[in-house]
Amino acid sequence: MELSEFVQKGFQLLADPGSFDSNAFTLLLRAAFQSLLDAQADEAVLDHPDLKHIDPVVLKHCHAAAATYILEAGKQRADKSTLSTYLEDCKFDRERIELFCTEYQNNKNSLEILLGSIGRSLPHIIDVSWRLEYQIKTSQLHKMYRPAYLVTLNIENTDSQSHPEISFSCNMEQLQDLVGKLKDASKSLERATQL
């Protein structure tokens, strides 16, 4: 994993028992994970009485370094040995390496879910609703007497802010065609997962 000097310096500070005692180290580590994974987290995450004695600039540096490292590790799906190697290079002692790896392991799933959800994709169908009607007449055509469906697909865009809809009408044959094709896709998916 390629990490910047900023991260390296931050970790070297973090490794030093003189700057961060055991308790402060653990607190800072937890704060880093919290900032990344907790949607409600804000600057107050570093506002712990046991961290007050540390220079705020140092605190922010180490916090940012830890967060950067965690994200990079998550992105690359780093295993324990990769993590350990880098931390050793930063002069972390055994105990701190263990602590880091344990904390990372505990948060790994949430981290991967978060990273996996970032990115662009096509508009995503999340639900469908339908309406069945029986058409009797229009201003142009009397005595129609035929059933028709109105189908609405609920869509979610990647920014999760907009939820547009796509609506269309279809008759019975068309709906049968639509359902048939979706079933084909579903069966293919099943078969593919069994390979």
Partner 1 sequence: MLLDLSEEHKEHLAFLPQVDSSVVAEFGRIAVEFLRRGSNPKIYDGAARKLNVSSDTVQHGVEGLTYLLTESSKLMISELDFQDSVFVLGFSEELNKLLLQLYLDNRKEIRTILSELAPDLPSYHSLEWRLDVQLASRSLRQQIKPSVTIKLHLNQNGDHSTQVLQTDPATLVHLVQQLEQALEEMKTNHCRRVVRNIK
Question: Which positions lie near partner 1, rule CB under 8 A?
Answer: 74-77, 112, 115-116, 118-119, 121-130, 132, 134, 136, 138-145, 147, 149-151, 153, 155, 166-170, 172, 174-179, 181-186, 188-189, 192-193
Tokens representing 108 are: 């790994």
Beta carbon nearer to partner 1, 51 or 153: 153
Beta carbon nearer to partner 1, 6 or 130: 130
Alpha carbon of residue 142 to chain centroid: 54
Instruction: Provide, rounded to whole angstroms, the least separation between the CB of residue 51 and partner 1.
Output: 29
Angle at CA of residue 78, ends 73 and 83, nearest 5°: 80
132: part of which helix (H) or strand (E)?
Answer: strand 124-135
Residues 153, 125 contacting (CB under 8 angstroms): yes
Tokens representing 174 are: 């068309």
Instruction: Provide, rounded to whole angstroms, the least separation between the CB of residue 128 and partner 1.
Output: 5
Beta carbon nearer to partner 1, 60 or 183: 183
What is d(CA 26, CA 127) in angstroms, rounded to the nearest whole number? Answer: 43
Instruction: Provide, rounded to whole angstroms, the least separation between the CB of residue 183 and partner 1.
Output: 6
Instruction: Provide, rounded to whole angstroms, the least separation between the CB of residue 1 and partner 1.
Output: 11
